[in-house]
Amino acid sequence: MRDETRLIGGGMVMLSLATAALVVIPYLQVRHVPPTPGLKPYSEAELRGRQAYVSHGCLYCHSQQPRASRFAPDAQRGWGRASVAGDYAHDEPHLLGTMRTGPDLFNIGARQPSTQWHLGHLYQPRSYVQGSLMPAYPYLFTAKEKAEPGDVVVNLPPAHAPHGKTVVARPEALDLVAYLKALDRSFPALAEERP
């Protein structure tokens, strides 16, 4: 019985130390970090797009945290500067991601500022990135005989456009693209938070 008590006590001490080191101390370090200068809060459309990003599972294949050049070649890949805590001041919850099946999206708004590119890429990724593993999201669009006033027409490459139809973006697609374009952290990070 005494050995079991030691085992349980030791396990609780180790769990407490791990929690302090991995949760409590990092929280205390970043809880009062101000937003990076140049960071703007999300608009209503961008917040709706952020929800679409989560609901469609984009965070399972994409990260939003480029690493410093001493840890990874993210800057050489063109993903932008390493992220700092202030870059996530308006993100609740944080969508850092754990997998990189696709590229990091931290600066996708700066790398691909074209709304048409994003819409076409969502409709059929392989028409824009050959060999892409990303699934297509055609249900975010409507194929019509003719566009109506106010419709956002998606200009697809001829090989991927439905024959005799006009592809129109639904509001959810436009919101998702607004969120992706808002992921532009090309402004400099604070000097004291250098990667």
- Beta-bridged to residue 74, according to DSSP, are none
Whether 168 is covered by a domain: the verdict is yes
Which structural domain, as residue segments, surrounds residue 20? 1-32
Maximum alpha-carbon separation in the chain = 80
**How large is the C-alpha radius of gyration of the chain?**
21
d(CA 107, CA 160): 27
Q: Are residues 22 and 51 in the same domain?
A: no
Two tokens, residue 67: 């690493």
- Structural domains in the chain (count): 2
CATH number of the domain encompassing residue 102: 1.10.760.10
Average pLDDT value for the chain:
90
**What pLDDT digit, counting tens, does each position of 118-166 carry?**
999 999 999 999 999 999 999 999 999 999 999 999 999 988 889 889 9
Query: Shortest CA distance to 126 belongs to which of 104, 102, 110?
Result: 102
- Beta-bridged to residue 153, according to DSSP, are 168
Query: Which pTM value belongs to this model?
Result: 0.83
26 has pLDDT over 90: no
Q: Please enumerate in sequence order all residues whose Cβ is within 8 A of that of 42, keeping only pairs 6 or more positions apart, or say none.
A: 50, 90, 179, 182
